[in-house]
Amino acid sequence: MTAPNHQGKEFDIIVYGASGFTGRLVAEYLSKQYKDDADLKWAMAGRSEEKLRHVRGEIGAPADIPLVTADASDPASLNALVKRAKVILTTVGPYQIYGSDVVAACAKAATDYVDLCGEPAWMREMIDAHEDTAKKSGARIVFSCGFDSIPFDLGVLYLQEKAKEKFGAPCKEVKGRVRKMKGTFSGGTAASFKATMAAAFKDPAVVEVLKSPYGLAPGFAGPKQPSGSKPKFDETIDAWVAPFVMAAINTKNIHRSNMLQNHAYGDEFLYSEMLITGPGDQGEAAAQAVASDTSMMSDEGPKPGEGPSKEERENGHYDVLFVGLGAGDNEIRVGVKGDRDPGYGSTSKMIAESAICLVRDKTETPGGIWTPAPAMGVALIERLEKNAGLTFKVE
């Protein structure tokens, strides 16, 4: 494996998709959070220079932030784009429709890459197609640097580090339990979900990746995992829990993280992720209601490129409990909280900090296709706590 060689790259980060709803939030965050950081060189990219110029003015970014035109349907423009940056931060999804050429170009050009992907079948396709190239070139390709899957992937990493300090060993089982969440899923998330379902309808191999918790850990088959597909009473937390819509992608990423860390959580590691609906009959009724909700498949809700108002984003938040169960009665609990709505406000900060973390903190991580925890680990946790409104705490 090769570490990246970023010499001669003009920019630290190019935000690709900066005129879209989420890309614009990322650009706004960088321009405000790093306004006094003269060393950070970044640019905004998208299909239309006119739109980019308009967004740059609207978000109050400096007028000298460079604008780069590139189009997902023009591979030559993508190749030119990736050669100019240390990291391409892309919000242009669904990635299975618009992302494949960007990943291929980054892997070849030794350019790091971060995205907001929650599309496991496409991610597996990219792993199979480009991991060897990325390892040779030194490109670090890191999927899922937003609400899926950073709070969950880093939450498990944080819990296991604390368990090793306290018990001398990682926990064999971790339960991720979403306590509170206020905010909408992004239009891009819904579009990605529909594109994934359409791909599964056409190709049985896609169904296999979607069904398996180890779908992103090729070559590894661990123990049968706890099911999170039906409401149940969870005695560990004394409450009813319901299926959580993002468990499918987060679980796969967490098992990939374990594999990429040489099974630091153990070969027999168990993980489940569900939504807490509360105790008693009320909790049970709420869990049943959540389980029968099909709104992700509906055409209601935000479309790609749309999203909540600034006020809605700032009033959003989330709170996830992780319960680690070790040998004997060993138990440890960790809370991970975010101060903005998960799908946009917090996600835009998380992906921006991930890109900076690769450039500034984790220069030694070798090339390959990564998840956030093994690629950036504690350095990213520290960055998110310092700048992005997240907290990680043992409870």
Regarding whether 209 and 93 lie in a shared domain, the answer is no
90 and 191 share one domain? no
Q: In this structure, are 188 and 298 located in the same domain?
A: yes
Residue 4 lies in a domain: no
Would residue 98 count as lying in a domain? yes
| Domain membership flag for residue 263 | yes
Q: Are residues 171 and 106 both part of a single domain? A: no
Same structural domain, 236 and 335: yes
Residues 32 and 172 in one domain: no
Tokens representing 76 are 């030559």
Same domain, 35 and 117: yes
Name the residue range of residue 291's domain. 150-341
Do 21 and 118 reside in the same domain of the chain?
A: yes
CB burial string 7-30: b at 16+ within 10 A, e below: eebebbbbbbbbbbbbbbbbbbbb
Question: Among 341, 359, 375, where does a domain finish?
Answer: 341
Q: Which two tokens stand for residue 275?
A: 């939504």
State the sign of the Cα–Cα–Cα–Cα dihedral 209, 213, 219, 223.
negative
Alpha helices in 34-86 (DSSP H): 49-58, 75-83
Cis peptide bond prior to 144, omega within 30° of 0 = no
The span from the CA of 16 to the CA of 19, in Å, is 8
- In terms of domains, do 129 and 183 share one? no
Token pair, residue 75, equals 């591979």
The reply to whether 107 and 171 lie within a common domain is: no
Residuewise pLDDT in 10s, the chain (395 residues): 776 777 789 999 999 999 999 999 999 999 999 999 999 999 999 999 999 999 999 999 999 999 999 999 999 999 999 999 999 999 998 999 999 999 999 999 999 999 999 999 999 999 999 999 999 999 999 999 999 999 999 999 999 999 999 999 999 999 999 999 998 666 777 777 777 777 777 887 777 888 899 999 999 989 999 999 999 999 999 999 999 989 999 999 999 999 999 999 999 999 999 999 999 999 999 999 999 887 666 666 667 667 888 888 898 999 999 999 999 999 999 999 999 999 899 999 999 999 999 999 999 999 999 999 999 999 999 999 999 999 999 99
Q: Can you give the pTM of this predicted structure?
A: 0.95
Query: How many domains are contained in the chain?
Result: 2
Kindly state whether residue 371 falls inside one of the protein's structural domains: yes
270 and 298 together in one domain? yes
SS3 79: helix
CATH of the domain at 353: 3.40.50.720
Is residue 100 located within the same domain as residue 226? no
The answer to whether position 251 is within a domain reads yes
